[in-house]
Structure 1
């Protein structure tokens, strides 16, 4: 049985029928999340699988092994408000992989905020998160629901990486974070069809609404207090940087990181929600290594052009038609061996207000967008369901806990501990 003392008291009290509902369990990543929970959830954890087809849910459950064979199945269409509310009211935590979230996620977030039910997703859609904040943050704060977006490769390594870096700097009394750069140092893995579909949906939205385009380009898109944010000048997401300017040991030119437009805004929201604990002069960006060869400037420039070209290509009908035929589709993904061969290493470099240099590392085995993401989402759900007393409190929120939060502010060290136990390397220290 689950240790009830570890569960603690929360708005989703112990009389809920389930601890975790995996919504979208029949999808490619949804099944990976369910499989991870079947392998690692403590004995007695009450888990249910939810989706729109009972037949497909039964087939999914049949592939999950003996531990999952008694898990209940819950049928709910994303557009069926009553069914979605019933899910939220029956469980302590909902983990959803059903995206694009701007299309399929609004009702579930609203239901969880109303019911005081914790919620985690794989959202990489900044405008959806902004909408979620505006519509549900105050309600979730009142009910105690922790609504935590971005609990996969978007944006746990970024948000948790900066979190552990900040905690080490604070413990050392080394001042506040100033110039801080995340570098995707190495990676092997594919781009998920769900991610591509989210990008496609966001491009369509931005084409229709100039006001949303302006909001999307704001580095503080997700701020809880936009007028109170510091003016640190232009903070572009398409960045070319000299390696040595980031850290003396880095060579070559660093290329733009395609997920920076979302991740950076999550990290800046964490800073604001924590009362700007990272620092009012916290200047944050994300890039990726293309190696240290003499060709790195050309490779980095090619990456920048490729990212811009993808967005433009999806916006123009002729190239959109071609891209839709060759890009991964939702529900598709690599095989088991390819997922196992994947990996990523992220390093965060910071200079503090005292002039000290620090670095943090987040490293994991497994395809970032599939296998590693399934672990991150599954462990986020388990932390919310079973580690209530270890979750961070935020001053100014009712009970210190509810609202539309981030991985660092909503789950924090409870998630760090779980991910380390799951085999991920998460560390921080003084830069050598």
Structure 2
């Protein structure tokens, strides 16, 4: 791909997360890396570009998700494409196809299991043949989960402490939601309600695994239960992104020949605190999530939900984004009985400020250090995950941006 016009093209620069990612890249683009912004409306993209420090020289490309020719030209011009154009089930597959065909690396921030499953089914073989690395879920969905399990496994194996066993991610966070996130959730709910086959995929805990029949039995089922976690001394409730993140982690393990361990079981919950207050918060969270998704699933209530929640293009204020944070703590008991934990944490709203960093650095990992990025054994490319496509290259890049990513034995 050395003869491409651009090292990175950001498609969707006028969307909420697209603008944040453009802002991040404007302040962190290494010398010599050629970046272009792309979107449907040239004037709007130019307006975003011209407001960025140092961005006025960036080229602007016009492309539309409904125009296959424009997507093909975009993909053929770039070494790496970043897509922030969602809902991905509606708009994402044509660009994935264009990148897979052109041998162009691709990153996005999707949290849509049906979209990723279709991407795997349609483009895994094509991308593998062209060498394209299609890396979904390079934001808060699902970098903390995927890298947390990856570095935990590496540490356990380096210490000769066996393999990962029962592993739980405890998420502590403060952040908001954008209209794009809500739109993606509603799109997927509509698909699940209308199609029993898609409903079966969405509820399968190994929905994204490359070979469903090779997966071990005994994996935890998704649960909205409230629990007291004695290992951290706190109450936990359902984590809204667990049903997606767990499937990405399981896909990583499968692509790595189940190297995390034959007894690896994985789940995610949200930490709500200690004592009566933590217990009450856990039940409130469980009830709120149930009511929210229930309301979005009822067509008659959808207009009410749309009036109350942010519209596409809207999201948390800059002050709110700066005040946000996340801390993902993964605890495991290994096959030798040892206890280990990993932590992935950062300051900034996890779905927006922190996601712009994770997405931007994922693209830079491929644009700057592609030869150092890993590939699963036997693959030349394909539909991959952050851990299997970026691994320690992304770990080190995020550490350089003040992310905490570490693993250790605990007693």
Bin of the TM-score, shorter chain as denominator length: over 0.9
Structure 1 residues 80 and 28 mapped into 2: Cα distance closer, same or farther (>3 Å)?
same
Does 1:31 pair with 2:34?
A: no
Does 1:152 pair with 2:152?
A: no
CA distance in 1, matches of 2:155, 2:225: 27
CA distance in 2, matches of 1:114, 1:62: 32
Secondary structure of the 1:346 match is: strand
TM-score normalised per structure 1: 0.93
RMSD: 1.1
How far off its partner does 1:239 sit? 3.8
CA distance in 1, matches of 2:275, 2:312: 36
Structure 1 residues 265 and 336 mapped into 2: Cα distance closer, same or farther (>3 Å)?
same
Report the count of equivalent residues: 411
User: Runs of 5+ in structure 1 lacking a partner?
Assistant: 1-12
Does 1:218 pair with 2:204?
A: yes
Match of 2:128 among 141, 153, 157: 141
* Residues 220, 265 of structure 2: 8 Å contact kept: no
How far off its partner does 1:19 sit? 0.3
How far off its partner does 1:298 sit? 3.4
CA deviations over 1:215-265 (Å, ceiling 9, x no partner): 111100001010111111551142433210xx2xx2232101000010000
Secondary structure of the 2:75 match is: helix
CA distance in 2, matches of 1:303, 1:99: 26
Question: 2:175 corresponds to which residue?
Answer: 189
CA deviations over 1:256-283 (Å, ceiling 9, x no partner): 1000010000000000000000012211
Does 1:408 pair with 2:367?
A: no
Does 1:298 pair with 2:280?
A: yes
Question: 1:7 corresponds to which residue?
Answer: none
Match of 1:274 among 237, 253, 256: 256
Question: 2:353 corresponds to which residue?
Answer: 371
| Deviation larger for 293-302 or 13-22 | 293-302
How far off its partner does 1:31 sit? 1.0
Question: 1:257 corresponds to which residue?
Answer: 239
How far off its partner does 1:195 sit? 1.1
Question: 2:216 corresponds to which residue?
Answer: 230
Does 1:322 pair with 2:308?
A: no
Question: 2:343 corresponds to which residue?
Answer: 361
Match of 2:3 among 11, 15, 22: 15
Question: 1:419 corresponds to which residue?
Answer: 398
User: Runs of 5+ in structure 2 lacking a partner?
Assistant: none
| Deviation larger for 296-305 or 157-166 | 296-305
Secondary structure of the 1:294 match is: helix
Match of 1:241 among 211, 219, 227: 227
Question: 1:3 corresponds to which residue?
Answer: none
* Residues 237, 260 of structure 1: 8 Å contact kept: no
* Residues 8, 34 of structure 2: 8 Å contact kept: yes
Question: 1:10 corresponds to which residue?
Answer: none
What are the equivalent positions in structure 2 for 1:159-170 lying under 5 Å apart? 159-170=146-157
How far off its partner does 1:397 sit? 1.3
* Residues 207, 247 of structure 2: 8 Å contact kept: yes
CA distance in 2, matches of 1:158, 1:255: 17
Does 1:53 pair with 2:41?
A: yes
* Residues 151, 377 of structure 1: 8 Å contact kept: yes
Does 1:342 pair with 2:329?
A: no
CA distance in 2, matches of 1:337, 1:105: 30
TM-score normalised per structure 2: 0.98
* Residues 237, 285 of structure 1: 8 Å contact kept: no
How far off its partner does 1:390 sit? 1.3
CA distance in 1, matches of 2:37, 2:296: 34
